[in-house]
Amino acid sequence: MNREIKGTPVSPGLATGVVHVIHVGRDVPTWSVSPEDIPLEIGRLASALNAASEKLAERQRRVAKTASEKDAEIFAVHRLILQDPGAMSAVESAISEQRINAEAAVQTLIKRFEVTMGDLDGDSVRDYASDVSDPWRLVLDMLLERDRADVLSSQSKVVLAASDLTPKVVTFLERDQVLAIMTEKGGRFSHGAVLARSFGVPCVVGIPNLLARLEQGMEVTVDGGRGRIQLRPSAEELALFLELKATADSRRHILNAESGKPAETPDGKRLGVLVNVESVRDFDTFDTDSVDGVGLLRTEFLYLERSTFPSEEEQYRMYRRVVERMPGRPVTLRVLDIGGDKPLPYFETPKETNPALGWRGIRITLQWSDLLRVQMRAMLRAAPAGDLRILLPMVTSIEEIHEIHELFAETRTHLVEHGYDVPENVLVGAMIEVPAALLALPRILDEVDFVSVGTNDLVQYLLAVDRDNSRVASLYEPFHPAVLRALQDVASAGQKAGKPVSVCGDMAGDPAAAILLLGMGFDSISVAPQFVPEIKYAVRRTNSTHARALATEVLDQATTREVHRVLARIRADFDGKVSEREEPAHGATSKQG
């Protein structure tokens, strides 16, 4: 079997460690178990059976108390079903003979019950089928739940492997337990990918049949920048990988040395470099003094971490804490952007055929205005703590902005009437991520204080390519000439209107893109914190006239391939500048001699 596999790179970095396959969603994960781990897997099954049996006993007691002894009898029957030696030995032999994990073996048993009973007719047979399979479903739940608890309590660091890159997968463990992430599905600009980058861990997606090729606990190396994974590396391969890692670490060291300085070109043009933040804990992962503010705080991710909607008071405290972490610098809070691929577990949205074109972002919050009012109140109350700004997602029409302004004015008046201190002019901006907003830009700029381009969505809508679909991942192209033209139009419109324009989509995290955006005339960019040092380093070594010439050059290209040629040149030039710095350290003695 080929031990080297390739996928789509999502987040750079090099990591090596043991794999932990996780299940988040409906599919039950299947992986092969090495012969020496079979007793371990049977042990996992036994403890899940015990936990399920305890849970059933507890249910029995509760129902006996709240209903009747008779109603509670079913749980006693379920416990007896779990003691059936036939079923038990079927699961055990699936583990040891087929060498599959306990979850997959239990799932096979449940399927067998369903197939056997499904062939028979009648309600009572169907009831019986669910009676025999329900307790085993509980065992399955126990296995999956325990899995997370076990890793959490072991405190071990692992390489997470899953079928899809969802926000839930990324947040499955605490970030300091995650060495890297790899998945079968997912796109480079999906929200799971956005989170992986904000975690700063290497991540590779779009690897077909990944889970079938892994074993729990298998040693791997992950190169997030190149999208390469090595299964069971040999001693030689591992040594080579560690050498690469040492070079990457020394490069990072060089870049970090200047990260406290502003992103200013040698001829004096400044590019604001702000950060995208997904959680209050993110502030502990980077040097807050080295950035120009928060350009995008995705408030929905604060909501995603919870099991219920945060109250106004909780939101207020959260926003205040965030604003206080950035004294004297802007903190841009984006209004809740749920829907699409960001469902909230406690806010059921209907299943849609085209979720990206459906009920998401401002479309939800304008309809559920209570939700919006609570968030607005919390934001406006937190505003006196610093330079708080508000950003509107998925703006498609001027009417939406008008509606928001009205709601803000009402909320403000209400707060002031109740004695709150709310600043007069909290700045409000619009995300430019829907093509209609692009075309209506001069009008939109009349209505807002600033705009920020969400290229993750803008690219998907301009090119008609789903950002979450790995089948069309190769067509998702942030450097498509049409996208570059759109970006130039936004920069020019902003300059004409005298309003600040920024890019907060993930493409801005690439230093070559940052140079182009500077050349186009953007005032600032907002990126995952891990990219700040590299971008500053690049900007500090590029004259603004050169950046302008590069922007003109890419805008002249007819094809994406030609654009990439220019980008490759910018990157090579930048790499050369970094390695120039590496040389004195290595060659210091020879030069002196």
Give whole-number Cα distances, 484 to 501, 503, 534, 546, 579, in Å.
Answer: 15, 12, 22, 17, 29
Q: Which of residues 444-503 bind ligand PEP (CB under 6 A)?
A: 454-457
Residue 217 is which amino acid?
G
Residue 194 makes contact with ligand PEP by CB under 6 A: yes
How many CB atoms within 10 Å of residue 507? 25
23, 79, 188, 298: which one binds ligand PEP (CB under 6 A) = 298
Among candidate residues 280, 332, 351, the one with its CA nearest the CA of residue 310: 280
Rounded to a whole number of angstroms, the minimum distance from the CB of residue 581 to ligand PEP is 32
Output the smallest distance, CB 298 to ligand PEP, in A: 5
- The phi, psi pair for 589, rounded to 5°, reads -65, -45
CA 435 from centroid of its chain's CA atoms = 24
**Binding string, 309-338, against ligand PEP, x = CB under 6 A?**
----------------------------x-
Closer CB to ligand PEP, 342 or 546, in the complex? 342
Rank residues 67 and 482 by Cβ distance to ligand PEP and give the closer one: 482
Which SS3 state, helix, strand or coil, does residue 419 take?
Answer: coil
Q: From ligand PEP, Mg ion, none, which one binds at residue 224 (CB under 5 to 8 Å depending on kind)?
A: none
Under rule CB under 6 A, residue 279 binds ligand PEP: no
Residue span 380-419 as binding mask against Mg ion, x where in contact by CB under 5 A, dash where not: ----------------------------------------
Q: How far is the CB of 199 from ligand PEP (least distance, A)?
A: 15
Residue 216 binds to ligand PEP (criterion: CB under 6 A): no
Q: Give 225's DSSP letter.
A: T
Q: How many Å apart are CA 196 and CA 169, to the nearest integer?
A: 9
Binding partner of residue 504 among Mg ion, ligand PEP, none, CB under 5 to 8 Å per kind?
ligand PEP
Out of 200, 386, 454, 519, the only residue in the binding site for Mg ion (CB under 5 A) is 454
CA distance 18 to 26: 24
Cα 421 from chain centre:
35
**Rounded CA gap, 102 and 90, in Å?**
11
The minimum distance between CB 503 and ligand PEP, in angstroms, equals: 8
Query: Which positions are annotated as active-site residues?
Result: 191, 504
Residue 49 interacts with ligand PEP (CB under 6 A): yes or no? no
Tell whether the torsion through CA atoms of 522, 526, 530 and 532 is positive or negative. positive
Segment 378 to 437, residues that bind ligand PEP, using CB under 6 A: 433
Packed helices 235-256 and 560-592: angle between N→C axes, nearest 10 degrees: 90
Does residue 504 belong to the site contacting ligand PEP (CB under 6 A)?
A: yes
The label of the residue with tokens 């059921």 reads: 348
Rg of the chain (C-alpha set): 27
User: What are the backbone dihedrals phi and psi of residue 276, each rounded to the nearest 5 degrees, phi first?
Assistant: -95, 130
CB of 337 to ligand PEP, least distance (A): 6
CB 189 → ligand PEP: shortest distance, Å?
7
List interacting residues with Mg ion (CB under 5 A): 433, 454, 457
Site of interaction with ligand PEP (CB under 6 A): 194, 296, 298, 337, 433, 454-457, 504-505
